[in-house]
Structure 1
Amino acid sequence: MLQNIHISGFSDEISSDFTTQLETVKNLGMNYISIRGVNEKNFSEYSIDELNEYIKPKLVEYNIKVSSIGSPIGKVFVDDNEGFEKQVDLLEKLCKMANILDCKYIRMFSFYIPKDKNPEDYRDEVIKKLKIFASIAEKYNVILLHENEKDIYGDIASRCLTIFKEVDSDNFKGIFDFANFVQCKEDTKECYKLLKDYIEYYHIKDANQADKENVVCGTGEGKIEEILTDAIRNGYEGFLTMEPHLVIFDSLKDLELEDVHDIIKTDKGLDGKSAYALQYKSLVDILKSIDFRLKTIGGREMKEVRFGIVGIGQMGGSHATWLAEGKVKNARLTAVCDVNPEKKEWALEKLPKDVKFFDNYIDMLDSKEIDAVLIATPHYDHPVIAIEALNRDLHTLVEKPAGVYTKKVREMNELAESKPHLTFGMMFNQRTNPLYQKIKEIVSNGEIGEIRRTNWIITTWWRPQAYYDMSSWRATWSGEGGGVLANQAPHQLDLWQWICGMPSKVRANLQFGSHRNIAVEDDVTAFVEYPNGATGTFITCTHDILGTDRFEIHGDKGKILVEGSKKVTVKRMKESENELNKRLTFADVANLFRGEGMSDIFDVEEFEIPDQWGTQHINVMINFTEAILEGTPLLAPGTEGIKGVMLSNAMHLSSWLGKDVELPFNEDLYLSELNKRIEEEAKNKEEVFV
C-alpha cells in the first residue's frame, strides 16, 4: 500500500556542505531530496550553468533525485512590486532548472503581509500575483506548491482555501505543513478536512502550540499519523518531505523574518545529521504503523478492533461489560481470560455468547481471536503479560499502574518502542477528564508562568481493615508491590507529572502499616524538587475518613487551585511576581495588605466540572480504538506509565534509605530493597503459620 509513498527532505538541515547532505541521505536509504541550500548558498542563487556543471552531476554521482525545489518565491512583501518583478524573473529560471532536474515541483509562498495590517485587505493583490506565477509554471509544465506559513497571506487554512479556489490552476497546488498550522493555532485535522482536495504534497514537521517549538514528527500536536492515515487510505501517492527544524542550520536565517533563535529555542543536544536521522526514523515508524493499520491478515483493512481482556475482576469486568454493551464504537469484545473458575460462570451469564473464555492468557493471545488486549490483572503481571502480547503483534492497553518497579516497566517500554506499528496505551482515565485537560492547557500555555511550587493533598482513599482482609494478596509487597502509592494514588501521580512535569529529586516519609494491620505504606508525605528549582509536596493516606482533595499549582504569574477534583479557581496575574517585586513600593504593599488594589493585580476564573467516573474509562478505550484504526494520538501512551511508577518507587526508596533520591535512581537498588521486604513478609507469614 505504501510503495508509492516516497520520503524526501530538505537536506540543507543536515549540513551546508552538499556532499555531506548527499552522503547522509544515501546512508539513510533515501532516494530523494528537496533542494534548498547548497554549499552555503540558496539553490535559487545558482546559475543554470552551475546547475549543469556541479549540482546535477553531484546528484547523479549519489543517485539522488530532487522531489521539489525549496524556493523563496512569494517571500517578499505583497506591496513590494519591484521585489515581485525580480521574483517573476527568478521563477522563470527556477522552472528551467526544475526541467533540467526532471523535478515536477517548486515550493513557494503567498507574500508577507505588512506588520499590523489586515491580510484580507491584500487578498486581491495576492491572488493577482499568484496567478502570474501560475501562468509561468504552466508554460514549463511545473507545479507550484503553496506552503502555509505564518506571516504570509496563506497562513491559516481558510485563506489557503481562498488561494486555491481563486487561482484555480492545475499548476498551482498545496503543500500541507503540519507544524506551520500548529504554530498559527490551527487544528490540523480541521485544516486537512478543508484543504484535502488541493493537497499535492506533505511537509513532515511537527510542533506544539504552547511554545510553538518544533519537535520530532509524531510527538507534537500536528496529528501527522492520523492525517496521513486518512490521506493514504484515500489514495494519496507522492512525497513526504521532512523539514525537521530541530536544530539551527545555516540557511534558516534566509528563510524567516524573525531571529532564528526565536524559532528554534531549545538546544536538543543534536547536530544536523542526528536530528535528520531522528526525524527519518520517526517518519518511518509512523509509516510502518499506518501500513500495519491498513492491512490485516488477508490484506484487508481493519474495520473494527477485536478486544480480549485478561483479568475480569472488578475493573476488568467493568471494561468487559462496557465493550459488550457497544459503548466503544468500532470495538467488539471477543475473548476474556481469568484464572478464577467462578469468572467463567460470570462470563457465561453476563457476556454475549460468542465471547470466548480462556483460563490461560497465553492461549488467548495465541488464539487469533483478538487484535488488542486489555490487561486488568494484579500489578506485577501488567508488564509481563504486555510483553507477551506485544511479542505477538497485539495492540496493548494496560490498567494502572504500568507495573510495580521501573526496571520491568522499562523492559516493556523498550519492546513497545521497537514495534511502532502497534498501539500501546495506559488506562489513565483521568487524562480524559475535561477538568484536568483544561488545567494542563492553562499550565502548558504559560498562563500562570513558570511553576514555583506544586502541592497535592489527596487523602480521600479511606479504607477499613475489612477492605485489606478481603484478599491475601492485597496490601502486600509480594501481591501488590506497595500500598496507597501502588493501588489508590497512581492516577494522581500521573496527573501530577503530566501537568507539572517530572521532578529531579524526591525526599519522602512513608508510614508502613501505621493505622492498619498491613505491611505496606498507608501514609505518605513526599517533598520534591524540580529541575528549575521549584518545589512540591504530595500527601496521601488511606486512614482519613473525612478526606481532603486539594491540588495547588503556583506559578510566577498566577495560581491554580483544584478542590475535590471538581471546583477550579484560576488566578492570572497581570504582571509577573518578579515585575511586581521590582515595581511596587512599600506603600503599595501596605495597601495590598489592607486588601486595597488586589483586583488590579490579578483576574479570577472559576469553573466546576462534575466527576465523570465510568465515562472516563470508556473514553480511554474509544481513544485507544481510534488510535488503532485512524492513527488518532493517544491521550495516555503506554510508555508514559513509567513516570508514575518512577515517582512511587523513588518515594519508597527515599523512605527506606532515609535520604534524598535523585531521578533517575538506581533501579537495581530499588529492586533489591523491594525483594528484602518480600522475603521479610514471607518469613513473617511462616512464623504466624507456625
Structure 2
Amino acid sequence: MKLSVCYNHILLASEQTGLSLSEVLKKVKNMGIQSVACSYEELKPYTREMKVLLKAVELEISCIYKYFDFGYEETGEAGYGLIDLAEHMGAKFVLVIPGLLKEEVGIKREQAIKHMVEALRLMCDYAKDKGITVTLEDYDNVCAPYTTAKEILWFMEQVPDLKHTFDTGNYRYRGEDEIEAFELLKDYIVYVHVKDRSTAMKGEEVAKIAADGTALFSTPVGSGVIKIKEILDKLEFMGYDGTLNIEHFDAPNQLEYIEQSIRWLLKNISTNSEKNI
C-alpha cells in the first residue's frame, strides 16, 4: 500500500510553519509519502508549476477531486474537464462529489438523484478510454444522497463502472459502523481516505457536527475512535495494494498531524505492505 496526503494539508502546513511548499513536500516525501491528492481548483490554474514542483521531489498525484451540482445545474459533460486534467497530470483516479440535495422528499429529489446517476454514467464512459477510474466517496453532509453504505451501494449498482473511495471516518458521521460499511462495499473499493475522528477537542480543531449532533474532530490517524487498524488488516487480506490518502482537514498543526499519521500507518501496515511504500 502506498501513502498519499491531501495537497490542501501541504498548503496549510506551509502557511502554519513558514516553510516553502517545496520544503514541506520534501519533508513529507522523506517521511514516506509517495503522492498527493489535489482538488481541481488547487491544481487547474497551476498545472505547469505543479508538474515542476512535484517532479523535483519525486511525488505524483494520486487523485483529483471536484465538487459539482449534477442534481440541478450541471450535466455529466461538465465533468470531462476533471478527467482531462487527471490524464494531463498522470492521475489514475478522480473523485466526484456530485452535489447536494435541496429537498428531503418528493419528485424533485428523485429527479435530482436521477440526474446525478446520468452524469456519473457519462463521466465513467468518458474516463474509461483514458484509463482513469471515477470514484464516489461516503460524503459527510446530510444533504448528500451518498453518505450511508446502502446509498453508496445503490450508486455503484446504478453506474457499473463507478468505484468507491472508502473514507474511513465519514460513515461515523451518519452513525454507521465503518467495518460493516467496509464489508458491504469491499468489492468496489479502489482508493482509501484514511481519516480518524476524535470525540474530544484537543486543541483548536474545528468540530464537524454529525447527523445525530455528535461533535467530531480532526485527529492524527490512529489517535481517534475509528477502527483503522482493523480496516488496514482487511485491506491487506483482500490484496489491496492501492493508495492510503491521509486526510485531516482543519488540523491546527498539519505538519505535525501528517508526521504522526505517517508514523502510525507505517507501524501498522505489515512488512509485506511496507515494501511497497
Aligned counterpart, 2:239: 235
Could you tell which deviates more after superposition, 124-133 or 19-28?
Answer: 19-28
Alpha-carbon displacement from aligned partner over 1:239-274 (angstroms, at most 9, x marks no partner) = 100012251xxxxxxxxxxxxxxxxxxxxxx42211
Q: Which runs of 5+ in 2 are unaligned?
A: 15-20, 200-213
Alpha-carbon displacement from aligned partner over 1:326-374 (angstroms, at most 9, x marks no partner) = xxxxxxxxxxxxxxxxxxxxxxxxxxxxxxxxxxxxxxxxxxxxxxxxx
The one-letter code matched in structure 1 to 2:96 is M
The one-letter code matched in structure 2 to 1:72 is K
Aligned counterpart, 1:78: 71
Aligned counterpart, 2:121: 131
1:181 has 2:171 as partner: yes
Q: Decide whether aligned partners of structure 1 residues 280 and 115 sit closer, same or farther in structure 2, where only a CA change above 3 A counts.
A: farther
Q: Decide whether aligned partners of structure 1 residues 104 and 184 sit closer, same or farther in structure 2, where only a CA change above 3 A counts.
A: same
Aligned counterpart, 2:49: 54
1:157 has 2:149 as partner: yes
Contact 2:120 2:159 survives alignment (8 Å): yes
CA distance in 2, matches of 1:64, 1:189: 31
Aligned counterpart, 1:609: none
Q: Which secondary structure state, in structure 2, belongs to the residue aligned with residue 179 of structure 1?
A: coil
CA distance in 2, matches of 1:99, 1:193: 31
CA distance in 1, matches of 2:71, 2:91: 27
> What is the CA-CA distance between 1:6 and the residue it aligns to?
0.4
Which has the greater radius of gyration?
1
Q: Which secondary structure state, in structure 2, belongs to the residue aligned with residue 207 of structure 1?
A: coil
> What is the CA-CA distance between 1:235 and the residue it aligns to?
1.0
Contact 2:62 2:93 survives alignment (8 Å): yes
Instruction: Pick from 14, 24, 28 the counterpart of residue 25 of structure 1.
Output: 28
Instruction: Pick from 80, 83, 90 the counterpart of residue 95 of structure 1.
Output: 83
The one-letter code matched in structure 2 to 1:110 is P
The one-letter code matched in structure 1 to 2:154 is T
Alpha-carbon displacement from aligned partner over 1:175-209 (angstroms, at most 9, x marks no partner) = 11011111121111110111000000110001146
Aligned counterpart, 1:502: none
Alpha-carbon displacement from aligned partner over 1:504-554 (angstroms, at most 9, x marks no partner) = xxxxxxxxxxxxxxxxxxxxxxxxxxxxxxxxxxxxxxxxxxxxxxxxxxx
Q: Decide whether aligned partners of structure 1 residues 208 and 185 sit closer, same or farther in structure 2, where only a CA change above 3 A counts.
A: farther
Contact 1:34 1:241 survives alignment (8 Å): yes
Instruction: Name the TM-score, length of structure 1 as normaliser.
Output: 0.34
Q: Which secondary structure state, in structure 1, belongs to the residue aligned with residue 169 of structure 2?
A: helix
Matched length:
248
Contact 1:183 1:207 survives alignment (8 Å): no
> Taking CA–CA contacts closer than 8 Å with sequence separation of 6 or more, which of the two structures ends up with the larger relative contact order?
2
The one-letter code matched in structure 2 to 1:163 is F
CA distance in 2, matches of 1:72, 1:146: 11
Q: Which secondary structure state, in structure 1, belongs to the residue aligned with residue 240 of structure 2?
A: coil
Aligned counterpart, 1:43: 43
1:10 has 2:14 as partner: no
Instruction: Pick from 228, 235, 246 the counterpart of residue 224 of structure 1.
Output: 228
Q: Decide whether aligned partners of structure 1 residues 63 and 291 sit closer, same or farther in structure 2, where only a CA change above 3 A counts.
A: closer
> What is the CA-CA distance between 1:123 and the residue it aligns to?
3.4
Query: CA RMSD, aligned part only?
Result: 2.5
The one-letter code matched in structure 1 to 2:66 is P
Q: Which runs of 5+ in 1 are unaligned?
A: 248-269, 295-690
CA distance in 1, matches of 2:247, 2:30: 18
Percentage of identical aligned residues: 21
CA distance in 2, matches of 1:188, 1:29: 26
CA distance in 2, matches of 1:9, 1:125: 31
The one-letter code matched in structure 2 to 1:167 is V
Q: Which secondary structure state, in structure 2, belongs to the residue aligned with residue 72 of structure 1?
A: strand
The one-letter code matched in structure 2 to 1:159 is E
> What is the CA-CA distance between 1:98 and the residue it aligns to?
1.8
Q: Decide whether aligned partners of structure 1 residues 245 and 231 sit closer, same or farther in structure 2, where only a CA change above 3 A counts.
A: same
Contact 2:4 2:34 survives alignment (8 Å): yes
CA distance in 1, matches of 2:85, 2:98: 21
Alpha-carbon displacement from aligned partner over 1:257-297 (angstroms, at most 9, x marks no partner) = xxxxxxxxxxxxx422112212222222222xx449x9xxx
CA distance in 2, matches of 1:138, 1:77: 20
Aligned counterpart, 1:274: 256
